[in-house]
Structure 1
Amino acid sequence: MSDSTPQQVHRRRVMYVPGYDPVHPRKYRERYRREAAAQAAISGYEIAMGPKRTDGKFGWHLSAMIDGCAVETDVEVMYWADIVRASMSHGILATYGQLARTAWAYIGSGALFRLMRLRKGPVIAALYPVVFLLVQLVLAICIGVASALAVEWVGVQLIGIPLSVFGLILGLVMVWAVLDLFRRYDNRFLAYYLMHDYAFSARYGGAYPLAQETRMAAFADRIEAALNADPDEVLIVGHSSGAYLAVSILADLIRAGRVPDGGPKLALLSLGQVIPMVSFLPNAHRLRADLAFLSMRDDITWVDVTAPGDGCAFALCDPVAVTGVAPEGKRWPLVISAAFTHTLSPARWKALRWRLFELHFQYLNAFDRPGDYEYFRITAGPETLQSRFAGRAPSKSRIERPVNRYRDQAA
């Protein structure tokens, strides 16, 4: 955008919907602060960050000078980390129970095999906690059996009597100790975290739990309040699992007539989405209906950004089309690539290449070779999402073939 281009946004509200993440919203604030400063230095503009000025619980305020235009932005984090933490408060036995139920939910329904026809990266990421937790269990059992046998050998050699009960008890204690050790150091392996993540989505076969529905209704209230505060744009950003939550929240708002006529521009930016992980499950009737509904609206702009380098996302998979619910005349989303291999320098790409979780958050970070996707220009700059991507062609390598078996939708 040049200085002569009309400024569409003077005031913006950004409503950020995180993925399945137990961290406090301050982590997102500090990431924004750090990465915005880095991007501003690279791209030659100014972003100042300060305390929130809205009545939302978690957020911050931005004052930016980009392309000669002053823009004020209020960012609010849609908080559901408490629900995530509650779903992660399971012990070792309960987690292995989750493993069995989740594996059956995806394998028994056939969803796993259909997801593999889209992108193998996120499916491998989904299989990782299953395999690694089973490896932990096998290793723990081997150590337990070895401990029991060692006690038996010592008992026979020293006193001529096998200590069967003691050996059994020691073996069980060792099994538990090894499993507990892995659980305590899961911040290095993330097997328990990922298992809880997939189990949360699969528990009701793709239907939303009541606690999540209740929180989504509260998010809708916050977005409606933002729409009525008269900014120039209300931008909903859904990252990872937050993308499918954002789809359903917006669909609810629009269906209920809670989006004011002639109000601010309303836009959805989905980043690193994993929508098929839920929409391919048999009971995801609501999400499939919401995807189909939102894809037809002419009162929103929906841009979906992923990158093939992100092994945790369904990169360049049109979530509406691959789910098999694309209606005639579908408008959204516009599927584009963040193209990490082009927007990151070779040195930066090399440093991040195998840091899979940091790559999954790269959409929220600075790019040292930014292209048309640049998070901070979108969230703090003078153009609406609609204007910025007007006329932008979708990625040629996007996947649109419908491969989902379950296509029924909520009435």
Structure 2
Amino acid sequence: MLPLDYTPPGLAEAIPGAVRRRQIFYIPGYDPEGRTRYRMLFVREVSRWAKRFGLPKPRIGPATLSPDGRVQGWSVAAEPAWGAARTDYDVLLWDDLVVRDFARSRFVSAGLLVLGTLQVIVTGLMVRFYRLNWKYGNVILYPFVLLLILGLGTAFIAGLVHAHLGDGFGHSLGWPLWATVPLGLLVGLGWIKAIEALLNRVFFWQLLNDWVFNWQHGQGWRPDYAARLDAFADHVLARLAALAAEGASIDEVMLVGHSSGAMTAVEVAARVLARDPTLGTGAANFALVTLGSGLPLVALQPRATRLRAEIAALCTSHRVVWVDYQAPQDWMNFPGFNPLQELDFALGDRPATNPLIRSARFRDIISPETYHRVRWRPFRMHFQFLMANDRHGAYDFFAMTLGPQRLRERVLTPRHPSAAAPDAPAPLDPETAA
């Protein structure tokens, strides 16, 4: 067992019985293409997963989009061959907010990046980020350093233009300063525009806007995001109420968040529990799953008092089972982060019930060939949380979300997805099954 594994002493008691029907609310991370990326990723990877482990291909229903464009849904039929549950999947979308960030003036985004980065450096937060995961510390500083390089390059080009058109060299044209400086800056900025495709390939604007969002949220400057959290909570409660009115028997309600969406899932879970005192008290357990979370980016900021209060409420609630999956191989999460230890909660005599912390153990579930191919591709490794395993392992996204085990029991006593089908063929070789 890795040192980061943690089981809280007050963990909620088990609810008996297998899962026959599960309702999932999935929240993607800070991604401008959320409404297209995750459906395609799910369909592709669940098909690979079934093929690799010799299971029947899941029957996935067509995708639907809510009238307001904020919820994309589909269903996965139960598969009796291995005891799979029927799963209804709602993706809670906030990519329109991300697209709006990307459409913001680049000068404004750059200015916000500089302010946010300098603040966490001066206040010492950057040191804490590096202590938790030096790789993520590098990811945070990466757009700031690249912005400085771009700024120096622009200044250098502007200086050359001024020298050749102004009074810099003997053969210069002798143009006045008021003409050469603006022209030089335009040429310098044009150089940045010319390498736009390269900047996108190295995720410069993605990581810049992502960090700015987290910093703004920590400062309480994202009312649009706060409103979306309330809208998500409204949808979850309305969906569960509709299922109850239909007489549907739901065994597990699961809220899943990946990357920045893990923080969103925490905030939505806290709101839902606060508004519905019956949730998690009946035969259906309420489960929260956070994958590759960047929670400390906001939770450690001094002004993020509401988020810390919500985390504290979850850490002492018996109505939710919260599992936080981490991965040391992932650059963009914080392996070993435990909110009970890092956020200095004053829980009093209330026992800690959450979160269960587990390593996804990417080294065990990815083949050596795949691992060596993706180990220096941070985004690809980050998305392994949502992709098919090459090998059986305690962490398996599709066994967790489609299988018959409740989340609490899967984490404490994991079993492979084909355990209910002893005559299923052996897993295919990951290289030939890809």
TM-score range, shorter chain: 0.7 to 0.9
Identify if the C-alpha distance between structure 1 residues 377 and 7 changes in structure 2 by more than 3 Å, giving closer, same or farther.
farther
1:290-369 equivalent positions in 2, closer than 5 A: 290-325=310-345, 327=347, 328-369=350-391
Preserved CA contact (<8 Å) 1:206 1:279 = no
Local SS of the residue matching 2:60: strand
Measure the CA separation in 1 of the matches of 2:343 and 2:80: 38
Residue in 1 aligned with 2:297?
A: 277
- The residue type equivalent to 2:51 in the other structure is A
Residue in 1 aligned with 2:117?
A: 103
1:216 CA drift (Å) = 0.8
Preserved CA contact (<8 Å) 1:137 1:179 = no
Cα RMSD between the aligned structures?
A: 2.3
Moved more, 97-106 or 295-304: 97-106
Identify if the C-alpha distance between structure 1 residues 336 and 138 changes in structure 2 by more than 3 Å, giving closer, same or farther.
same
Identify if the C-alpha distance between structure 1 residues 226 and 383 changes in structure 2 by more than 3 Å, giving closer, same or farther.
farther
1:275 CA drift (Å) = 0.5
Preserved CA contact (<8 Å) 1:224 1:258 = no
- The residue type equivalent to 1:363 in the other structure is F
| 1:145 aligned to which of 159, 165, 174 | 159
Identify if the C-alpha distance between structure 1 residues 66 and 314 changes in structure 2 by more than 3 Å, giving closer, same or farther.
farther
- The residue type equivalent to 1:36 in the other structure is V
Q: Looking at both structures, which has the greater relative contact order when contacts are Cα pairs under 8 Å and sequence separation is at least 6?
A: 2
- The residue type equivalent to 1:332 in the other structure is N
Preserved CA contact (<8 Å) 2:132 2:334 = yes
Measure the CA separation in 2 of the matches of 1:96 and 1:54: 34
Structure 1: gaps of 5 or more residues:
1-5, 393-411
Residue in 1 aligned with 2:260?
A: 241
Local SS of the residue matching 1:19: coil
Preserved CA contact (<8 Å) 1:64 1:381 = no
Residue in 2 aligned with 1:405?
A: none
Measure the CA separation in 1 of the matches of 2:219 and 2:55: 43
Preserved CA contact (<8 Å) 1:63 1:71 = yes
Moved more, 117-126 or 201-210: 201-210
Measure the CA separation in 2 of the matches of 1:133 and 1:375: 36
Residue in 2 aligned with 1:264?
A: 284
Measure the CA separation in 2 of the matches of 1:169 and 1:293: 55
Preserved CA contact (<8 Å) 1:60 1:75 = yes
Residue in 1 aligned with 2:190?
A: 177
- The residue type equivalent to 1:68 in the other structure is W
Preserved CA contact (<8 Å) 1:64 1:70 = yes
Identity of aligned residues (%): 31
Q: TM-score with structure 2 length normalisation?
A: 0.83
Structure 2: gaps of 5 or more residues:
1-15, 244-248, 415-434
Residue in 1 aligned with 2:420?
A: none
Local SS of the residue matching 2:32: coil
Residue in 2 aligned with 1:402?
A: none
1:50 equivalenced with 2:61 (yes/no): yes
1:381-400 equivalent positions in 2, closer than 5 A: 381-390=403-412
Measure the CA separation in 2 of the matches of 1:199 and 1:54: 29
1:274 CA drift (Å) = 0.6
1:291 CA drift (Å) = 0.8
Local SS of the residue matching 2:390: coil
Identify if the C-alpha distance between structure 1 residues 148 and 373 changes in structure 2 by more than 3 Å, giving closer, same or farther.
same
1:18 CA drift (Å) = 1.1
Moved more, 379-388 or 205-214: 205-214
Preserved CA contact (<8 Å) 1:305 1:335 = yes
- The residue type equivalent to 2:319 in the other structure is D
- The residue type equivalent to 1:345 in the other structure is S
Q: TM-score with structure 1 length normalisation?
A: 0.87
| 2:46 aligned to which of 36, 46, 53 | 36
Residue in 2 aligned with 1:408?
A: none
1:259-303 CA-partner distances (Å, limit 9, x unpaired): 444152110110000100101101100110111110111111111
Local SS of the residue matching 2:353: coil
Residue in 1 aligned with 2:77?
A: 63
- The residue type equivalent to 1:115 in the other structure is F
1:72 CA drift (Å) = 1.2
Moved more, 25-34 or 245-254: 245-254
Residue in 1 aligned with 2:240?
A: 227
- The residue type equivalent to 1:346 in the other structure is P
Preserved CA contact (<8 Å) 1:240 1:271 = yes
Residue in 2 aligned with 1:217?
A: 230
1:258 CA drift (Å) = 4.7
| 2:32 aligned to which of 22, 34, 43 | 22
Identify if the C-alpha distance between structure 1 residues 187 and 162 changes in structure 2 by more than 3 Å, giving closer, same or farther.
same
Residue in 1 aligned with 2:100?
A: 86
1:33 CA drift (Å) = 0.5
Identify if the C-alpha distance between structure 1 residues 298 and 188 changes in structure 2 by more than 3 Å, giving closer, same or farther.
same
Preserved CA contact (<8 Å) 2:132 2:336 = no
1:70 CA drift (Å) = 4.3
Local SS of the residue matching 1:325: coil
Equivalent pairs, count: 385
1:185 CA drift (Å) = 3.9
1:212 CA drift (Å) = 1.2
1:130 equivalenced with 2:152 (yes/no): no
Preserved CA contact (<8 Å) 1:105 1:202 = no
Identify if the C-alpha distance between structure 1 residues 133 and 251 changes in structure 2 by more than 3 Å, giving closer, same or farther.
same
Residue in 2 aligned with 1:162?
A: 174
Measure the CA separation in 2 of the matches of 1:168 and 1:206: 36
